[in-house]
Amino acid sequence: MSPQPQKAVGSPLSRVDGRLKVTGKAAYAVDHDIPGAVHAVVVDSSIALGRITGIDTSAAEACPGVLKVITHRNAPRLVYRDNPVSNNPRGRRLRVFQDDQVLFFGQPVAAVVATTLEAAQHAASLVEVSYEARQPTTDLAGRPGNPLLNYARGDAEAALASAEVRLDREFHLARNHHNPIEPHATIARWDGDKLTLWDKTQYVIGTQNEAAAVFGIPVENVRVISPFVGGAFGTGLRTWPHVAIAALAAREVGRPVKLALSRRQMYFTVGYRPRYEYKLRLGADRQGRVTAMAHEPTYETSNHETFWEATLFLGQMLYNVPNVSQTLRTVSLDVNTPLWMRGPGFSSTSFCIEVAMDELAHELGIDPVELRLRNEPTRDLSTGQPFSTRRLRECFRVGAREFGWDRRNPKPRSTRDGDWLIGTGVATGCYDTNRARAEAHARLDANGTAVVQSAASDAGPGTYTSMTQVAADALGLAVREVEFRLGDTLMPPAPPQGASQLMASVGSAVQDTCDKLRQQAISLAVGDRRSPLHGVNPDDVVVIGGRLQVKDQPARGETYRQLLARNNLTHLEANGLYNPEAESPYSMYAYSAVFAEVGVDVNLGLVRVRRMLSVYDAGRIISPKLADSQAVGGMVGGIGMALLEHTVTDHRDGRIVNANLADYLVPVNADIRDLRAIYLDGDDRKADPIGVKGLGELVKVGVAPAIANAVFHATGRRVHELPITAEALL
Amino acid sequence: MSTDPPAAEPSALSRRTFVATTVAVGGAVAAGDLVVGPSAFGAEPSTAAETGPSTRVSLVVNGRRLTVVVDNRTSLLDLLREHLGLTGSKKGCNAGACGACTVLVDGRRVNSCLTLAVRLEGAEVTTIEGLAKGERLHPLQQAFIDQDAFQCGFCTPGQIMSGVGCLKEGRTGSAEEIREWMSGNLCRCGCYVKIVRAVEQAARWK
Amino acid sequence: MYPFSYTRVSDLRTAVQAGSDGGRYIAGGTTLVDLMRETVERPGKLVDISALPLREVTATKGGGLRIGALMRMAEVAAHPTVRALYAVISQALELSASAQLRNMATIGGNIMQRTRCTYFRDVTASCNRREPGTGCAAREGFNRTHAILGTSEQCVATHPSDVAVAFAALEATVHLLGPAGERTVAFSDFLLRPDNTPQREQSIRQGELITAVEVPAQPRPLRSGYVKVRDRQSYEFALTSAAVALHVRGGVIQVAKVAAGGVGTVPWKLSAVEQRLIGQRPSEALWTQAAEVAADGAQPLAHNNFKVELLKRTVERQLRVVGGTR
Ligand SMILES: Cc1cc2nc3c(=O)[nH]c(=O)nc-3n(C[C@H](O)[C@H](O)[C@H](O)COP(=O)(O)OP(=O)(O)OC[C@H]3O[C@@H](n4cnc5c(N)ncnc54)[C@H](O)[C@@H]3O)c2cc1C
Ligand code: SF4
Ligand code: FES
Ligand code: FES
């Protein structure tokens, strides 16, 4: 098979769905116009632990327009069979309206269905629930941790004891909420025993399987549609209780039901980045070679489920550390269950490791970039495997040059600009390259255009665009001649849009599919007496601009249209697949070097990021314009994590105190100045057939520590807690 | 391109054409002056009429004059989304804290979630759906595409309407000024740098 | 949101009549609609006053300004006279909320806005201000943003307005029109400390309408400005803020008007700071020395202790910015 020229891939294309998005025509979950739909509003528990002793729904039911109030008293029993095709963690998931138990603050305790949104909202506020409340425990320090995972190599304790330099630190990271601007929302419609859901989800197949499991119906009876997702950052990887509520409500009232969570409810039932407490001990020699690290991370999970995220990888593989010990603990609290948030695990652990590395550099008087280079491993010490690619050195070299790192005076508190103390900091970012089985379908029509589809999701990275690019090159068509569709369970299955695996997996499947389709056309042509390509070795044929031609003899060929027309074919189609081997012989990660410059107001303690530069080793970049946006967006997210974001729980009653966007602060436009991303020109075919290593998660990792290190450099104050706010710096 | 999956609902606008220039919205249908388009209803008029005190309002939305009967509690945002089929304006917080619902009322950018529809007698409302002239995009819409000033696109209608306000207000003297005057619109995907560039591009265009 | 009836009024008499009959005025609606949606506010009857003729800035005889209550925040901020004479007012407004909200919200509504205490806004929490006698969840709860000055056992919430801080500094008066006619109230008496009645927030009677806020004449030249300290650069209420206006003649500070926001249950007039400034020559040392007393009497809570120091530094900063140094 002759390789196709890559024209679309790697070119700075504008988003193919851009026009829909700037005209307001892109239809997100509750934008779909489903005739006859009525509205459901969820009533939340106002206690965090206990039992419902009474629900008075009479006032709500008396409201004009109210069709039904659903509570555990009148809800039918639901099946809730086990669901392996989901991201449900170990444990017993919340079952909506199945009993009188309250497990966390804001748990749904009733739902009101009414003909208008106004009526449903008002009636929901009239539902009177009485409780027998018990004292909840919601503070990480409130209960002992349960060991979840251990790891050891070498003898960390001995190496620490004999180390020339030692650090012993404890880090505290706040809980963060994903807070996409689109709240979770679902429309549910039953047609007999068939259920259709228009849902905000990063995993239509997950939602499909979960809905089927909840209602005990065959998976094929559920269709999930999700063409546009208004941001998710991980919160759409699991099917949360409101989806079941929407479907239940629709079944109860016999009409389609629309249910959108309020912003407040976005802090109750749809996951979050867990709070961390992280003890880290580090030993090194005077040359800055780290000889030992002992990690003891602890994070929160719910009482009913044990959340897992990749907390241990970085500590095992990032640096050339011979002696490592790790103990991961979870604390089970009376809270909702966390869920992966952008750069899950890695973002949190990198803060601790990279701040500690900065402290070590400072203590030893070694440049922080140099310190990291001195600890570069030649292979993955956790598995012994070679790296598929690892160009972290180059990231640092390019980054230091472009950022002007060598102009830095290493002394803390040495640079000032008016009232601002200026500091710069650096950190390593890293995220693992994941791949999963994916399928796609492609169809080439007689008019020479193609439609390619896979049940993937696009919550912002630009799946529509990047898949169109891959498909266009593989088919030898112009981008505008290819349409990529996603977000529907009727399409071939795709993995969740999480863990940065979508591009690699679906991209490889799309490539395989389109390769097959192209080969089909080529075979047809070379076997067709009437074709100018008759008898040519198929391996010598390429397709360019919709025209099949001999590679070295471009004049000899014909177009798809001519070929299909002559053969009286309306279309050609193919199914394709990407099915990665379970075990790769390589250690596969994407890397970055993150540089930040901050100003800290010398009197007021305010921190403002003045500029950032990140250099990424992320394999091949399919869509440079969109990749740049992702990178910059990841930095913005990291700035939020570093300086602003903090979900506050009132531990007296488990209430989330700042459950709104005026009090849970995310960066605004004025917080963001000069952000720059550089992707090393790369291609990692050991990772996957299209050579990508994933970006979406990587871009957030390392941002918070780079900022924290810059704050130290500006002020001489070392902060071990996130977010870093004025009170720590006054 | 069309990104609708096969057999899924077509985009809201193509289907929800107004059957007449007047529609009743979740309220009592007064004889004579209101023509009811079924697709303009979130619910059947009879039940909607009973849900709360309502008022008749005449206003202009994207150049079309409408007379609607609204539940007094209905926000402009819900009027647009639930009753007029204009789902381009988004609800991110329903509390004035995100800007996703930004539209122009009498030429000024406002948060439609905090605007009661009942108060809009005689007002002129412009939403994202009313910005392009036929197929020709508003320069700021085009600039958003050119600069890749969005990812998920959910904040985008609000950003663009706010940007149109910002341009009108002449708050585009410097990147710093744009940043401050565009700070009423959160973008969780973090597209701010590019939003500023898009507003700059449109400002040059003028 | 609870159902309500709605009327529009276009003249003051009808407005006051409707207000006296139990109607609730709605101006920009940015506080009221928000709180109605949270069911914190449940008015049965809304009286839309936006068509009333209260939308002018006029010069008063003595050289002061009268700002109509229905002027929008954006209009006042941009008003050339306001900008020229009272930069502190323009700045306080432009550092408030967002461009969209400033296009909607009015001056009258702004000074009437209610606290942003999150327990107050959460009807499932106990709150004396919302429901007298239920207790104050913030006092022992999360109170980072709460007040350190003017608090009581009953309530520790801040008044969130920025422009009210400028008004407090400048010793504005509030013009009211009620069934019994017109009256004026000094700004310092208009917003009430919680004491034992946190639910009573303003000295305004049923049916009374704010018609204007009047800023008295100040000696010229007057240098003034507003600084707002907050975690993020924009679109956030103040952690601390300071409004400063200085009149310097013959190298000596003749008039000093200073107030702070984000720290008090009402905008906090800093008379002690003013006293330390008047009659002195501007200097770095003076700013520091004057600001030292800014937080006198502060009673910090578990999470807002930092505001004590931050307040002093905020005031010092703004004295320096406005007063300059020689
Ligand atoms: C997300 C967000 C952020 C914000 N940030 C800031 C900020 O940083 N700084 C700041 O200062 N403010 C801020 N605000 C508050 C905003 O400024 C106020 O909501 C606004 O000023 C209120 O004015 P309005 O005209 O909308 O009042 P309305 O909501 O119409 O009315 C508020 C109250 O005043 C009464 N009222 C209104 N006008 C009169 C009158 N003429 N006579 C008698 N009573 C009257 C009403 O009955 C009601 O009780 C913010 C608001 C939001 C939602
Ligand atoms: S501080 Fe005041 S407003 Fe807040 S909970 Fe206490 S009483 Fe209520
Ligand atoms: S939805 Fe109106 S500001 Fe957020
Ligand atoms: S583009 Fe996703 S929130 Fe702005």
Rounded to whole angstroms, how far apart are CA atoms A69 and C218? 61
Looking at CA atoms only, how far is residue A550 from chain B in angstroms? 31
Any idea what DSSP says for residue A488? B
Cα of A610 to ligand 3 centre, how many Å? 28
Please tell me which of the candidates C1, C29, C233 has its beta carbon nearest to residue B73: C1
Protein residue closest via CA to atom 3 of ligand 2: C120
Does this complex have an ipTM over 0.95? yes
* Ligand 2, pocket-test mutation among C113, C115, C120, most atoms within 8 A of CB: C120
Q: Which of B129, B154, B196 faces A181 most closely, judged by CB atoms?
A: B154
Atom of ligand 1 nearest to the CA of C106: 25
B62 within ligand 4 shell (Cβ under 6 A): no
Distance CA B101, CA B117 (A): 13
CB contact under 8 A, A606 and C229: yes
Which tokens is A654 given?
A: 């488990």
C317 with A660: Cβ contact below 8 A: no
Last residue of a domain, one of A578, A602, A631: A578
Give residue A184's Cα distance to chain centre. 15
Supply A675's token pair.
């952000």
- List chains adjacent to chain A, taking adjacency as at least 3 C-beta pairs closer than 8 Å: B, C
* Record: contact A625-B100, CB cut-off 8 A: no
Whether B153 lines ligand 4, by a CB cut-off of 6 Å, is yes
Q: Would you say residue A39 lies in a domain?
A: yes
Is A168 domain-assigned? no
Residue B153 CA, closest ligand 4 atom number: 1
Atom of ligand 1 nearest to the CA of C238: 8
Structural domain boundaries enclosing A378: 367-434+587-728
Q: Do A567 and A670 reside in the same domain of the chain?
A: no
Contacts of A605 in chain C (CB under 8 A): 310
Task: Give me the sheet containing C223-229, strands edge to edge.
Answer: C223-229, C240-249, C252-261, C268-269
Say yes or no for a CB contact (<8 Å) between A118 and B52. yes
C10 touches chain B (CB under 8 A): no
Q: Same structural domain for residues A604 and A654?
A: yes
To the nearest whole Å, the CA of A285 is away from the closest chain B CA by 41
- Which of A603, A643, A669, A711 has the highest number of chain C CBs within 10 A, making it the mutation to test binding with C? A603
Residue A283 falls inside a structural domain: no
The DSSP code for B173 is S
A677 lies in a domain?
yes
Chain C positions touching A420 (Cβ under 8 A) are none
Verify whether the Cβ–Cβ distance B109 to C100 is below 8 Å: yes
Range A275-299 average pLDDT: 98
SS3 content of chain C, % helix, strand, coil (to 5): 30, 25, 50
Q: Which ligand 4 atom sits closest to the C-alpha of A181? A: 3
What per-residue confidence (pLDDT) applies to B31? 32
What is the reported pLDDT for A428?
A: 98
Give the distance from residue A437's alpha carbon to the nearest chain C alpha carbon, in angstroms: 42
Question: How far apart are the CA of A359 and the centre of ligand 3, in A?
Answer: 42
Is A28 in Cβ contact with B193 (below 8 Å)? no
Residues with CB under 6 Å of ligand 1 are A 662; B 96-97; C 24-32, 34, 49, 69, 96-97, 101, 104-106, 108-110, 112-113, 160-163, 209-210, 237
- The nearest CA of chain B is from the CA of C32 a distance in Å of 9
Summarised one tens digit per residue, pLDDT across range A617-630 is 999 999 999 999 99
C142·A603 Cβ contact <8 A: no
Q: How far is the CA of C75 from the centre of ligand 1 (A)?
A: 15
Q: Are residues A112 and A195 in the same domain?
A: yes
- Per the domain annotation, does A68 fall within a domain? yes
Q: Is B50's CB within 8 Å of A667's CB?
A: no
CATH node for C5-51: 3.30.43
pLDDT, residue B29, reads 36
Whether residues A452 and A553 fall in one domain: yes
- pLDDT for B206 equals 64
Closest CA to A282 of A372, A383, A357, A198: A357
Q: Which of A93, A114, A147 lies closest to A37 in space, CA to CA?
A: A114
- Is A712 in the same domain as A699? yes
Q: How far is the CA of C159 from the centre of ligand 2 (A)?
A: 11
Do A126 and A195 sit in the same domain of this protein?
yes
Residue whose CA is at the smallest distance from ligand 1 atom 5? C97
Give the total number of structural domains in chain A. 3
Which residues of chain A lie closer than 8 angstroms to C306, CB-CB? 726-727, 730
* Contact check, Cβ <8 Å, A657/C140: no
- How far is the centre of ligand 2, averaged over its atoms, from the C-alpha of C136 (Å)? 5
In this prediction the pTM is 0.96
Q: What architecture is domain B139-205?
A: Orthogonal Bundle (1.10)
The CATH fold of domain C223-323:
Enolase-like; domain 1 (3.30.390)
Superfamily of domain B31-130: Beta-grasp domain (3.10.20.30)
List chain C residues with pLDDT less than 70: 325-326
Ligand 3 atom nearest B113 alpha carbon: 2
Q: Looking at the structure, tell me whether residues A617 and A527 fall in a common domain.
A: no
Rounded average pLDDT over A433-456: 97
Structure confidence at residue A71 (pLDDT): 98
Tell me whether C308 touches chain A (CB under 8 Å): no
Q: For residue B84, give the 3-state DSSP assignment.
A: coil
Domain ranges of chain B: 31-130, 139-205
Residues 6+ apart with CB under 8 A from B149: B143, B156, B159, B191, B194, B195, B197, B198
Residues of B in contact with A118 (CB under 8 A): 26, 51-52, 71, 73-74, 78
Residue among C29, C16, C24 at smallest CA distance from C183: C16
A478 or A498: which leads in pLDDT: A478
What is the number of CB-based contacts under 8 A between chain A and chain C? 80
Look over chain A and give the mean of its residue pLDDT values, rounded to a whole number.
97
pLDDT lower than 70: segments of chain B: 1-50, 206
**Nearest C-alpha in C relative to A666:** C232
pLDDT tens profile A87-124: 999 999 999 999 999 999 999 999 999 999 999 999 99
Residue A80 covered by a domain: yes
Instruction: Say yes or no for a CB contact (<8 Å) between B148 and A37.
Output: no
- Give residues 163 to 222 of C whose Cβ lies within 8 Å of A: none
Q: Are A260 and A183 in contact (CB under 8 A)?
A: yes
Q: Which pLDDT score is estimated for A581?
A: 87
Residues of each domain in chain C carrying CATH 3.30.43: 5-51
Q: Is A727 a catalytic residue?
A: no
Longest dimension (CA), chain A: 84
Question: Which of C20, C90, C96 should be mutated for ligand 1, with most atoms under 8 A from CB?
Answer: C96
pLDDT tens digits, one per residue of A538-552? 999 999 999 999 999
Catalytic pick among A277, A697, A721, A727? A697
For residues A211 and A198, give the distance between their C-alpha atoms in angstroms, rounded to a whole number: 12
Tell me, yes or no, whether A477 and A412 share the same domain: no
Q: Is the domain of A22 the same as that of A52?
A: no
- A167 found inside a domain: no
pLDDT of A479 over the 70 cut: yes
Tell which residue, C240, C235, C221, has the closest CA to residue C322.
C221
The per-residue pLDDT for B50 is 55
DSSP B81: I
Task: Compute the distance between CA of residue A223 and CA of residue B198 in angstroms, rounded to an integer.
Answer: 38
Q: Are residues A107 and A228 in the same domain?
A: yes
* H-run or E-run covering C176: strand C173-178
What confidence score (pLDDT) does residue C325 get? 66
pLDDT, position C138? 98
Exposure b/e, A548-560, CB count within 10 A at least 16 = b: bbbbeeeeebbeb
Q: Do A710 and A608 have their domain in common?
A: yes
The 10s digit of each residue's pLDDT in B90-131 is 999 999 999 999 999 999 999 999 999 999 999 999 999 999
* Shared domain check, A453 and A393: no
Residue-level pLDDT at A502: 86
In chain C, CATH 3.30.390.50 sits at 223-323
**Can you read off the two tokens belonging to residue A57?**
């729904």
Backbone angles phi, psi at C146, to 5 degrees: -85, 180
CATH number at A637 reads 3.30.365.10
